[in-house]
């Protein structure tokens, strides 16, 4: 798809972020897909490839409140959600919000903290609210979490269970830049950090309008059936122990609508579903031990499922 087809407002956000993120347009696009679909992203990659920079650039571009949570083994749920503190003057408890009470949240190294603290974050992601001392507090809108985990530091980590991974709309990797891109990064580092010069290209009200307009994107019954067939294909694959859940099917439909809207269409096509399926399904399926031993990845399984699943075709009536 060409850039000329893209929604002009979304194109301006992408171009703004690309001032600091060199050669990562596909990652930025997928992040915006999750933001438009009101979902969340899990980024698994090595340190130093620009995960924090991208989230900060996204927040600046949409004039959103950015918060960062550095997850550590001793982090408590109240460090994330906030805490009620007694005020002797008012003679009552007052709630002091935690870093989760922002618009765009970077949850750095989420697998380094305990399952109890992970659950505090994931409750906010799923319910758009947090409960502290029996009182429910609504989170800001829009609310977007990008969580990161390091694939090489396994010692001292708490891997996310399948039920918690299922809460993320997309999972992706950034990867290293190529030589030309890294040279451009070095040249930019000699000057004022580009992130400091970024200015908003849209405000939060405008972003909310984009999110609402995205909901009008049409999904034909044949496309819905295609999504269900793909999900069902992962459940019946010989290499899969646990296939994509119905929540995964919903996530793929939402992501496909957002991707179609990003490219200026008010309807979803099979290409949207095919492109996004690995990012939506890969972290939702659990492979059998023998498949992992043979070096088969979740992405490999999804490609095989796609290859044997009939693609819906619209027939023209003469």
What pLDDT is recorded for position 318? 41
Residue 52, pLDDT score? 83
According to DSSP, residue 267 is labeled B
Q: Which pLDDT belongs to residue 192?
A: 59
Is 7's pLDDT higher than 70?
yes
Distance CA 105, CA 76 (A): 17
Q: Residue 295: its pLDDT value, please?
A: 87
Residues 135 and 236 in one domain: no
Radius of gyration (C-alpha) of the chain in whole angstroms: 21
Q: Domain boundary at 153, 188, 210, which? A: 210
1 pLDDT above the threshold of 70? no
Give 189-225 pLDDT, tens digit per residue: 666 566 777 889 999 999 999 999 999 999 999 999 9
Give the total number of structural domains in the chain.
2
* 102 & 194 share domain: yes
Query: Which of 1-5, 93-97, 191-195, 293-297 has the highest mean predicted lDDT (pLDDT)?
Result: 293-297
- Inside any domain, residue 251: yes
pLDDT tier for residue 139 given thresholds of 50, 70 and 90: confident
Q: Does residue 110 have a pLDDT over 90? A: no
Same domain, 181 and 139: yes
Predicted confidence (pLDDT) at residue 256 exceeds the cutoff of 90 = yes
Same domain, 127 and 155: yes
Q: What span, in angstroms and rounded, lies between the C-alpha atoms of 42 and 31? A: 10
286 in the same domain as 200: no
In a domain, 20, yes or no: yes
Please state at what angle helix 221-235 crosses helix 246-262, rounded to 10 degrees.
130
Which pLDDT band, with edges at 50, 70 and 90, does 315 fall under?
A: low
Per residue in 44-76, pLDDT (tens digit) is 877 777 788 888 899 999 999 999 999 888 888
Task: Please say if the pLDDT value at position 143 is more than 70.
Answer: yes
Q: Is the pLDDT of residue 177 over 50?
A: yes
Is 313 part of any domain?
no
Instruction: Answer whether residue 50 is part of any domain.
Output: yes
Cα 23 to Cα 224: distance, rounded to the nearest angstrom? 33
Provide the Cα torsion 267, 168, 277, 239; round to 10°. -150
pLDDT grade, residue 102 (50/70/90)? confident
Q: Is the pLDDT of residue 281 over 90?
A: yes
| Token pair listed for 1 | 């798809």
> What pLDDT was estimated at residue 78?
87
Please indicate, yes or no, whether residues 133 and 229 belong to a single structural domain of this protein: no
Do 296 and 275 belong together in one domain? yes
Q: In this structure, are 88 and 17 located in the same domain? A: yes
Residues 257, 204: one domain? no
Give the per-residue pLDDT at 72.
Answer: 87
Q: Which of 64-68, 237-241, 304-308, 314-318 has the lowest mean pLDDT?
A: 314-318
Domain identity same for 23 and 53: yes
- Is residue 316 in a domain? no
Domain range for 277 is: 216-308
210, 225, 240 - which closes a domain: 210
DSSP classification of residue 161: P
Is 268 part of a structural domain of the chain? yes
129 and 30 assigned to the same domain: yes
- How would residue 3 be classed by pLDDT, with cut points 50, 70 and 90? very low
Same domain, 161 and 300: no
Residue 70 lies in a domain: yes
CATH number at residue 186: 3.40.50.300
The answer to whether residue 317 is domain-embedded is no
- At residue 251, the pLDDT reads 96
Choosing from 149, 177, 210, the residue where a domain stops is: 210
For residue 155, the model assigns a pLDDT of: 56
Which residues are within 8 A (CB) of 92 and not within 5 positions of it... i.e. 6 or more apart? 86
pLDDT tens track for 12-46: 999 999 888 888 889 999 999 999 999 999 988 77
Asked if residues 85 and 42 have their Cβ atoms less than 8 Å apart, the reply is no
pLDDT number for residue 33: 96
Supply the CATH number for residue 292's domain: 1.10.8.80
> What is the average pLDDT score of the chain?
86
């Amino acid at each position: 798809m060409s850039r000329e087809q893209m929604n002009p407002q979304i194109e301006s956000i992408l171009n703004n972020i690309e001032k600091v993120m060199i050669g990562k347009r596909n990652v930025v696009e997928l992040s915006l897909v999750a933001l438009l679909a009101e979902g969340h992203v899990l980024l698994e990659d090595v340190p130093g490839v620009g995960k924090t920079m991208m989230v900060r650039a996204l927040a600046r571009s949409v004039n959103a409140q950015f918060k960062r949570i550095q997850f550590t083994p001793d982090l408590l749920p109240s460090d994330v959600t906030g805490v009620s503190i007694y005020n002797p003057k008012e003679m009552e408890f007052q709630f002091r919000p935690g870093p989760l009470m922002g618009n765009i949240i970077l949850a750095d190294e989420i697998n380094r903290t305990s399952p109890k603290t992970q659950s505090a974050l994931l409750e906010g992601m799923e319910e758009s609210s947090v409960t502290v001392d029996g009182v429910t507090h609504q989170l800001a809108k829009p609310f977007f979490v990008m969580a990161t985990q390091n694939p090489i530091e396994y010692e001292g980590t708490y891997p996310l269970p399948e039920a918690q991974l299922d809460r993320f709309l997309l999972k992706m990797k950034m990867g290293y830049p190529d030589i030309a891109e890294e040279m451009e990064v070095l040249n930019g580092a000699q000057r004022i950090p580009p992130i400091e010069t970024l200015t908003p290209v849209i405000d939060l009200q405008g972003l909310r309008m984009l999110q609402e307009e995205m909901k009008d994107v049409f999904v034909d019954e044949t496309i819905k059936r295609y999504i269900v067939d793909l999900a069902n294909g992962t459940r019946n694959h010989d290499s899969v122990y646990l296939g994509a859940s119905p929540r995964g099917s919903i996530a793929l439909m939402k992501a496909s609508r957002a991707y179609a809207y990003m490219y200026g269409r008010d309807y979803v096509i099979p290409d949207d579903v095919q492109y996004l399926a690995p990012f939506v399904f890969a972290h939702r399926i659990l492979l059998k031990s023998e498949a992992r031993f043979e070096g088969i990845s979740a992405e490999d399984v999804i490609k095989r499922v796609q290859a044997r699943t009939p693609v819906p075709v619209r027939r023209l009536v003469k």
